[in-house]
Amino acid sequence: AQSVTQLGSHVSVSEGALVLLRCNYSSSVPPYLFWYVQYPNQGLQLLLKYTTGATLVKGINGFEAEFKKSETSFHLTKPSAHMSDAAEYFCAVSVDTGGFKTIFGAGTRLFVKA
Amino acid sequence: NAGVTQTPKFQVLKTGQSMTLQCAQDMNHNSMYWYRQDPGMGLRLIYYSASEGTTDKGEVPNGYNVSRLNKREFSLRLESAAPSQTSVYFCASRDRGLNTEAFFGQGTRLTVV
């Protein structure tokens, strides 16, 4: 079964520092991978997605992620954190089990210190 | 363009009471989903509907029922609420295809006392 694992339930960075949120996937077939962001008291919204083609994917708000098949990873990065990046981030994989579903990781809460 | 609309936003129930959470999408998506979100557990799929007229169980279906009323609407019913169902519930929809993303409502915060 396909799944994703997010390493670290909480990550804290200083404003202006690199953001790195880790995600590893388990899949026997080429995966379709997503990162979503959830701001307080809101629903999730798409940051970026990898389907096929270029392995470095750029998303909104300066985030990007690199698909590395050899490492089964899809880590999310941003060169310089901003206070407004404080949120919860979810890695997800799209599966087809007779219907298209999205399987989510447990989430990583990002704290940004001034 | 409203996207995915959930009602209500907040609800407090007593143990044993019933209620229905409503969800509607205006993006003409085939698939709709109900998730619950609990601290440290991410989003867990309760039920989904791959297309109008079909529904299937997800990871945590016990204690819930669903109805795909038409292509736009997908409701979630708690017949006899329990404290373990205290959670934040999200409705989502997506188009066909593995490469399509899900669009989420704003959530319903449910407390069962």
**pLDDT one-digit tens code per residue, B99-112:** 899 999 999 999 99
Best A25, A33, A34, A102 residue to mutate vs chain B (most B CBs within 10 Å): A102
**pLDDT one-digit tens code per residue, A51-82:** 888 899 999 999 999 999 999 999 999 999 99
Residue B48 near chain A (CB below 8 Å): yes
Of B43, B58, B98, nearest to A100 by CB-CB distance is B98
**pLDDT one-digit tens code per residue, B10-55:** 999 999 999 999 999 999 999 999 999 998 888 999 999 999 989 9
Residues comprising chain A, all counted = 114
Residue B110, min C-alpha distance to chain A (Å): 13
Residue A35 clears pLDDT 80, i.e. is over it: yes
Amino acid identity at A23: C
Tell me which chain B residues have a C-beta less than 8 angstroms from the C-beta of A9: 40
Residue A48 clears pLDDT 80, i.e. is over it: yes
pLDDT of residue B97: 87
Cβ-based contacts under 8 A for chains A and B: 71
SS3 assignment for chain A? CCEEEEECCEEEEECCCCEEEEEEEECCCCCEEEEEEECCCCCEEEEEEECCCCCEEECHHHCEEEEEHHHCEEEEEECCCCHHHCEEEEEEEEEECCCEEEEECCCEEEEEEC
Residue of B nearest to A52 (CA): B99
CB contact under 8 A, A101 and B107: no
Residue of B nearest to A95 (CA): B98
